[in-house]
């Protein structure tokens, strides 16, 4: 059966009915804008791989594009004398009106529209005599992430891990999960600070002054070397510093950050490693002294990883596998460490990416500390560009309710939910001391918690990652 549709920047609205109706042929209408932006290229590749025959595209010039009668004429001469489908999703009003006129003029055809809002329905109309008959079916199809991204002109880089496909778990990993242990969480929070991966320390004026006096020459050299790496060698520094405010800001910011980072790392190295007292039996066999030294060797001894972020990312992937295993979801495909490319350039990477039976993309990213605004913006932008408006991006953070307000909790992590809220980013927490969502509120630098849903909207809900695939938390 042939489907007629309008090529658009959101061609997922054409792909969904094409797959669900199991079409054999497609006729695309292409405006000048669509042709210039090559909007048809991706969906044509996807449908050719599914052995759909491509007709056209029918080109609509700038003059034709607003002429309903002309559009009708161009379409009609391409139509067979057998039932077809007119997809009314996307496009501009003259194009849609032209197709609707043809639908009313002909017999035995179907007009349809894929509504991806809320639960997702494929709506269709047929004619019975002089009356329209309406039908609405749930969108339910198996589109792969590769097909969705390709429809928008993106490619998926090889090297990803496929976790799940059509009710089958394809990848599991034997990884010890210690996130329920308080001392272990303190280790993964403190280690990045001690190794300089994430600076989150304060020192007294005396500590800074004493260290500077003792190591002034060495620190000056280190700051100078660090600064030079961030400035392009061919740039004339004096000229740029005088004429460019942007370059001035770069110099000042780089100098201050270099100085702070070098000084902090130096003082931390002088202070030496810290120890964490163990009060949990699970860890004592590994550390008979009753203390964990905060260093990479301790983390590697327990987990096989030497970076907190790498370990937490793997924990999130393993817990997602557990969520998928329960089967209480509409996920048809899930990946880990998936990178998308545009014009042979990497544009984004997602720790976990799922596809629903509604043709929607849901991404999860694990974060153990802060989430840079530019990083959030880039991932959101590329996820929308690569999979359409109907997508959802979520952060996953280690945010145990009993850690809040404690010295072990990094301030940046403690306030990260509020930062995500400002960016309108949904998030889930790993909090093994909780059985369900809890709520937080910031007041004068102090964070209050509640395990009972508050009556006002001043509180922010912290949803558990184990519930991330439940109906209320997911784009259906």
Query: Model confidence at 89, in pLDDT bands (50, 70, 90)?
Result: confident
Q: Which of 125, 64, 258, 273 is nearest to 187 (CA)?
A: 273
CA distance 261 to 278: 30
Q: Which of 238, 186, 21, 12 is nearest to 110 (CA)?
A: 21
Residue with tokens 């460019």: 244
User: Where do runs of H (alpha helix) occur along 284-372?
Assistant: 296-303, 308-326
CATH class held by domain 2-140? alpha beta
Q: Where along the chain do its domains lie?
A: 2-140, 150-172+307-473, 196-274
Whether the pLDDT of residue 237 is over 50: the answer is: no
Cβ atoms of residues 138 and 265 within 8 Å:
no
Whether the pLDDT of residue 376 is over 60: the answer is: no
Choice between 168 and 177, residue whose per-residue pLDDT is larger: 177
Domain 2-140 and domain 150-172+307-473, same fold? Reply is no
CA distance 156 to 172: 21
What are the DSSP E strand ranges found in 61-191? 84-87, 110-115, 121-128, 131-138, 155-156, 161-165, 168-169
Q: How far is CA 332 from CA 9, 207, 322, in A?
A: 25, 56, 15
CA distance 319 to 469: 12
pLDDT of 198 reads 47
For residue 141, the cross-strand partners are none
CA distance 245 to 428: 40
CA distance 468 to 428: 7
CATH class held by domain 150-172+307-473? alpha beta
Query: Model confidence at 252, in pLDDT bands (50, 70, 90)?
Result: low
Cβ atoms of residues 452 and 333 within 8 Å:
no
Distance of CA 22 to the CA centre of its chain: 30
Cβ atoms of residues 196 and 261 within 8 Å:
yes
87-96, 129-138, 186-195, 396-405: least confidently modelled range: 186-195
């Amino acid at each position: 059966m042939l489907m007629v549709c309008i090529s658009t920047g959101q061609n997922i609205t054409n792909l969904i009915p094409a797959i669900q109706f199991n079409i054999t042929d497609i006729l695309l209408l292409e405006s000048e804008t669509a042709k210039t932006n090559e909007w048809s290229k991706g969906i044509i590749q996807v449908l050719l791989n599914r052995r759909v025959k491509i007709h056209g595209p029918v080109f609509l010039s700038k003059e034709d594009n607003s002429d309903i009668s002309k559009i009708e004429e161009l379409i009609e001469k391409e139509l067979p004398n057998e039932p077809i489908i007119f997809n009314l999703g996307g496009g501009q009003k003259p194009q849609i009106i032209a197709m609707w006129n043809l639908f009313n003029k002909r017999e035995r055809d179907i007009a349809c529209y894929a509504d991806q809002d809320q639960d997702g329905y494929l709506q269709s109309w047929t004619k019975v005599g002089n009356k329209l008959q309406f039908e609405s079916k749930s969108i339910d199809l198996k589109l792969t992430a590769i097909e969705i991204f390709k429809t928008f002109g993106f490619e998926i880089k090889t090297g990803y891990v496929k976790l799940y496909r059509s009710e089958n778990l394809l990848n599991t990993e034997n990884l010890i999960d210690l996130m329920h242990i308080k001392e272990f969480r303190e280790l993964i929070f403190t280690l990045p600070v001690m190794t300089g991966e994430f600076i989150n320390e304060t020192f007294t004026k005396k500590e800074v002054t004493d260290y500077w006096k003792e190591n002034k020459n060495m620190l000056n050299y280190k700051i100078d070397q660090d600064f030079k790496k961030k400035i392009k060698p061919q740039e004339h520094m004096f000229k740029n510093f005088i004429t460019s405010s942007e370059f001035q800001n770069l110099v000042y910011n780089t100098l201050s950050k270099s100085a702070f980072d070098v000084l902090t790392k130096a003082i931390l190295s002088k202070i030496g490693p810290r120890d964490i007292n163990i009060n949990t039996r699970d860890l004592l066999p590994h550390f008979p002294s009753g203390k964990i030294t905060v260093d990479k060797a301790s983390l590697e001894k327990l987990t096989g990883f030497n970076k907190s972020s790498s370990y937490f990312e793997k924990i999130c992937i393993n817990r997602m596998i557990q969520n998928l295993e329960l089967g209480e979801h509409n996920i048809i495909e899930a990946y880990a460490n998936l990178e998308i490319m545009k014009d042979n350039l990497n544009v984004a990477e997602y720790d976990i990416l799922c596809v629903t039976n509604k043709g929607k993309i849901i991404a999860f990213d694990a974060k153990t500390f802060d989430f840079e605004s530019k990083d959030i913006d880039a991932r959101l932008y590329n996820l929308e560009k690569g999979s359409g408006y109907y997508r959802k991006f979520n952060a996953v953070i280690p945010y145990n309710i009993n850690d809040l307000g404690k010295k072990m909790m990094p301030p940046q992590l403690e306030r990260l939910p509020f930062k995500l809220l400002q960016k309108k980013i949904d998030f889930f927490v790993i909090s093994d001391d909780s059985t369900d969502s809890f709520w937080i509120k910031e007041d004068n630098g102090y964070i209050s918690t509640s395990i009972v849903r508050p009556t006002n909207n001043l509180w922010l809900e912290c949803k558990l990652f184990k519930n991330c695939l439940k109906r209320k938390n997911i784009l259906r």
